[in-house]
Amino acid sequence: MKATIVLGGNMYDDSTIEHFLKDAAAIGYQGVEIRGVGELKDGYIPEERAQQIKAMLESYKLIPTNLSLFAGGFACNSDDENEEEVLKWARYLDFASTIGCGMMRLNPGFIHSDEVSAEDYAKAVRLFQRCADMASERNIRAVIEMHHGTLCDTADASIAFIESVGRSNVGLILDPVNLYQVPTEYGISTIERLKPYLFNIHVKDIIQLKGKQYPWAFGYNDYVPHIGKYHRVVPKTSMEEERYFCHRLINQGGIDWYEVFRGLEQIGYSGYLTIESVSKQGSDLPVHTVLAQQCYTDLQYLLQTMNV
């Protein structure tokens, strides 16, 4: 499998872009997925700063593969709020064009696919089409991360939404960890169905726990306050008893990465493999440089073991 190994910026959310890019280059990553947080939140990025970031990327020979943005959320917003999201998207399009990034994450709405109204679904499709067309004018793709708690929380829901939007520059990020939490299928049969739409793969790991005794346990609903800092979130109304998880190093959690990579190899995937491991200061996982190096080593080992 000829894939580009990318470092996601989420493990550097509490650090700087300079730190993030320097580590990515030093460790050997080919590209970076830049997060829309910190100084990049809401897309108000001075042209001078955008040029500085572009120069750093070029000096480190790093490909800016994707802007991992908190933009959209259309199904859950008022009309005025959605107009603000479109303006935010336009600002990020300027930044992406400046640094040479060809893909940007856009969210249709943080409401479960089986609980959204027909009216709100149609609104999300309409706004997504509008933003996708704006991106197409810049030769940029709009990508949806398959995620629990959203309109694209299963393969069926994701394919249905993309086909409703009907734009060739719209595709998916497969994140097995997010689907594991739903829970829903993410293996070979699912990957085969998603083949026409896969633009990016997020690589990280978690494991479901028996309870919340572990100091770093988090619940399924942890995404609600986390994402709620950026998007309006509508929690699931028919939620069963809370389930708990914790972060693990790649291939040391509950995700069957051998299954995932077999599926990607079978469909001839040659896109991005983006490390998106998560840690926090004080947890039993490393942070920043040490975590980025460990994840790179773990992913290379997986690929070599499978001969892909």
Give per-residue pLDDT as tens, 255-293: 999 999 999 999 999 999 999 998 777 678 999 999 999
pLDDT confidence of residue 68: 98
With a threshold of 0.95, does the pTM exceed it? Answer: yes
Distance CA 22, CA 262 (A): 32
For tokens 């991360």, the residue is: 145
Whole-angstrom Cα distance, residue 29 to residue 292? Answer: 9
Beta bridge partners of 274: 6, 202
Round the average pLDDT of the chain to a whole number and report it. Answer: 96
158 touches 172 (CB < 8 A)? yes
Query: What is the predicted pLDDT for the residue at 279?
Result: 79
Q: pLDDT tens-digit profile of 199-232?
A: 999 999 999 999 999 999 999 999 999 999 999 9
Please state, in angstroms and rounded to a whole number, the distance separating the CA atoms of residues 149 and 159.
16
280: Cβ–Cβ under 8 A, 6 or more apart, which residues?
Answer: 216, 287
Strands 218-219 and 244-248: antiparallel
- Give the residue from 15, 23, 40, 8 showing the smallest Cα distance to 202: 8
Element (H, E) at 206: strand 205-209
Q: Which residues of 18-57 are buried (b: 16+ CB within 10 A; e: fewer)?
A: eebbebbbebebbbbbbbbbeebebbebeeeebeebbebb
C-alpha span between 56 and 100 (Å, rounded): 12
Per-residue pLDDT of the chain (308 residues; tens, 9 = 90+): 789 999 999 999 999 999 999 999 999 999 999 999 999 999 999 999 999 999 999 999 999 999 999 999 999 999 999 999 999 999 999 999 999 999 999 999 999 999 999 999 999 999 999 999 999 999 999 999 999 999 999 999 999 999 999 999 999 999 999 999 999 999 999 999 999 999 999 999 999 999 999 999 999 999 999 999 999 999 988 767 899 999 999 999 999 999 999 999 999 999 999 999 987 776 789 999 999 999 999 999 999 998 76
Greatest CA span in the chain, whole angstroms?
A: 51
